[in-house]
Amino acid sequence: MKKNLLMIGSRASALAVAQTEQCMAQWQHLHADLVFEHKTFTTTGDRLLDRSLSQEGGKGLFIKELEEALLQKKIDVAIHSLKDVPSELPEGF
């Protein structure tokens, strides 16, 4: 990634996009030297509309793709709603 680029990832939901835009605006105000880009992800939780999420893995289903993007350095920061984050995070987070 470019040195002055901060790639921010979030779900593609309207709430996640709005939260990310608010964060980006605040960060841009504080760090005018940085360029911010937003990449959206459709997560497993977003795709599993026909069954119980708790049977498929629960809250982590809404952040798995974002965690993978962080580990693969495709994004620098992930924006989540706390309700989507499991109480125990995987190793490395």
Catalytic pick among 33, 46, 50, 84: 84
- pLDDT for residue 78: 95
Q: Is 76 a catalytic residue?
A: no
- pLDDT for residue 9: 98
DSSP 30-83: H-TT-EEEEEEE--HHHH--SS-HHHHTGGGGGTHHHHHHHHTTS-SEE---GG
Q: In Å, what is the CA distance from 1 to each residue of 11, 66, 73, 87?
A: 21, 17, 8, 31
2 pLDDT tier (thresholds 50, 70, 90): low
Q: Which residue has the higher pLDDT, 24 or 85?
A: 24
Taking the domains of the chain in order of start, what are their residue ranges? 5-82
Q: Which residue has the higher pLDDT, 46 or 76?
A: 76
Considering the segment(s) 5-82 as one domain, its CATH architecture is 3-Layer(aba) Sandwich (3.40)
- pLDDT for residue 56: 57
pLDDT score of 77 more than 90: yes
Give dist(CA 58, CA 6) in Å, integer: 29
